[in-house]
Structure 1
């Protein structure tokens, strides 16, 4: 499992899931081929320079934290994964960000399902929060989401910056 990149007072925590068991074997966040995470992070204006996956710790310098919800156990085929929601919420309370941004609808719905909240259908702010921390849903950066044009994904990630500005 990758270590959390969190510190108290970050502006936003970007959260994914460790839904694939092999992901924990990777050395850096979002380092798989075809993943556009660092391009989206930079082009959206959330960080002022393009970072490489092996520079993932530098996101903290720009007020961005990274974490994942962690699976509690493997699920039966066709069953939704169960995540450590309590541990995830505890991490967020300690970091006290202005918002938590889920890195895909899949990640947001994984949280929602485990927290008894409504599933999301759209990008942006859902009807629920994580504890008292406002939530936001981003389009996924992975190569599996390359069917969505990159300019559209960038625009939706820029919406996160606008959302953060409204929070103060």
Structure 2
């Protein structure tokens, strides 16, 4: 189990799919060196400098938080069952309602489609809300996601950031 990074008055709660094995071992979100979350977060302007996973505790000072859809660590998100994702979606909705961020950013369109029964969802803003927060689906920053480059992930994060202004 990987602890959430939360704080008061969050602008964005980023939601990964589930902890990778390195994240579970270190206790830090997006800890694998090939993961592009931290560089994309910085390149998009959400943070003034590149943060290391061990600095995740600084995120609430920037109005940011991190959680996961499913708590079970795995080498690949594809190892999760449909049931784990749907259960995680329900738990996430309750968490978002309690934390009340301005936006929920789900990092992975396939996981979002499964967890929230939205088979046609695409990257970008969604029409529906989750737990009362507007939803933005972002590309999965895992190095295993060959569909998006670091620049592409950062651009989608930048679009989200601009929508908050």
Same fold, TM exceeding 0.5?
yes
1:136 aligns with 2:140: no
CA distance in 2, matches of 1:95, 1:128: 18
| 1:27 equivalent in structure 2 | 27
Once the two structures are TM-superposed, the CA of residue 7 in structure 1 deviates from its matched residue by 1.7
Shift of 1:3: 0.7
Q: Is the 8 A contact 1:98 1:134 kept in 2?
A: yes
The total of aligned residue pairs comes to 157
Q: Which runs of 5 or more structure 2 residues have no equivalent in the other structure?
A: 73-78
Q: CA deviation at 1:90?
A: 2.2
Deviation at 1:111, TM superposition (A): 2.6
The alignment status of 1:107 with 2:111, answered yes or no, reads yes
SS at match of 1:40: helix
Does residue 93 of structure 1 match 2:97? yes
Q: 1:80 aligns with which of 79, 82, 87?
A: 82
Change (3 A) 1:62 1:20: closer
Q: Could you tell me whether the CA contact under 8 Å between 2:17 and 2:108 is conserved in 1?
A: no
Distance 1:96 1:145 in 2: 29
Distance in 2 (alpha carbons) for counterparts of 1:152 and 1:137: 13
SS of 2:125's partner is coil
CA contact (8 A) 1:8 1:94 kept: no
1:34 and 1:158 map into 2 onto residues whose CA distance is: 20
CA shift digits 1:49-97 (9 cap, x unpaired) = 110011111111100010012258xxxx895242233432222122111
- For 1:20 and 1:38, how far apart are their aligned partners in 2? 15
Structure possessing the higher radius of gyration over alpha carbons: 1
DSSP-derived class of the 1:126 partner: strand
